[in-house]
């Protein structure tokens, strides 16, 4: 299980998520692929709000992509319709073209629900190949890197 990021000199991006009816399966709990969509939404919000490098900029304006190339997830406890979840994102590692993120979701009373390790790679879509993360983007991402 991915733990909540530890206190350090690095910043942690936080976002609240409400579990919606459409997130749940007939058993009344979050259908596990919906967590992957939540992770994607968290990353997209972080890129837009904190890194100032939105997916619109990446995909539409530059013709690049930022696909997930690796994902590990642990499910600690179920979430149900109406739950309020607290998401935390921190940068675990950065390579030339890749970024490793830790994302965790906790209930309002701090019970771990799900945690994951995500690796994204910046790519040029035509032709499809990895490209270096721009220096100014790397500098903003580094503010969220675990120390």
Share of the chain above pLDDT 90, in %: 92
Q: What is the pLDDT of residues 102-117, one digit of tens each?
A: 999 999 999 999 999 9
Q: Is residue 3 part of a domain?
A: no
Residue 72 domain flag = yes
Q: Structure tokens of 114?
A: 């799900």
CATH code for the domain of 39: 3.10.129.10
* Model confidence at 130: pLDDT above 80: yes
How many domains is the chain built from?
A: 1
Write down the mean pLDDT value for the chain.
94
- Residue 43: C-alpha distances to residues 21, 24, 28, 81 (Å): 22, 21, 26, 22
Backbone angles phi, psi at 27, to 5 degrees: -80, -5
Model pLDDT for residues 133-146, shown as the tens digit of each residue: 999 999 999 999 98
Residue 6 falls inside a structural domain: no
Residue at 2 is within a domain: no
10 in a structural domain: no
pLDDT of residue 5: 43
Q: Is 28 helix (H, G, I), strand (E, B) or coil?
A: coil
Inside any domain, residue 43: yes
Q: Whole-angstrom Cα distance, residue 143 to residue 147?
A: 10
Q: Who's near 46: CB < 8 A, 6+ residues apart? A: 13, 15, 89, 144
Q: Which residue range(s) make up the domain with 27?
A: 18-142
Say if pTM beats, i.e. exceeds, 0.95.
Answer: no
Establish if 5 belongs to a structural domain: no
Split at pLDDT 50, 70, 90, the class of 79 is very high
Domain-embedded: residue 122: yes
């Amino acid at each position: 299980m991915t733990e909540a990021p530890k206190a350090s000199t690095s910043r942690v991006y936080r976002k609240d998520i409400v579990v919606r009816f459409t997130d749940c399966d007939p058993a009344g709990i979050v259908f596990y692929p919906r967590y992957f969509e939540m992770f994607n939404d968290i990353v997209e919000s972080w890129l837009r709000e904190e890194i100032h490098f939105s997916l619109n900029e990446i995909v539409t304006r530059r013709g690049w992509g930022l696909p997930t190339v690796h994902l590990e997830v642990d499910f600690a406890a179920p979430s149900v319709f109406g739950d309020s979840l607290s998401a935390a994102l921190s940068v675990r590692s950065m390579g030339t073209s890749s970024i490793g993120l830790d994302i965790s979701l906790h209930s309002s009373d701090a019970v771990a629900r799900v945690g994951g390790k995500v690796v994204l790679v910046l790519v040029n879509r035509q032709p499809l190949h990895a490209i270096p993360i721009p220096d100014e983007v790397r500098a903003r991402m580094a503010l969220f890197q675990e120390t």
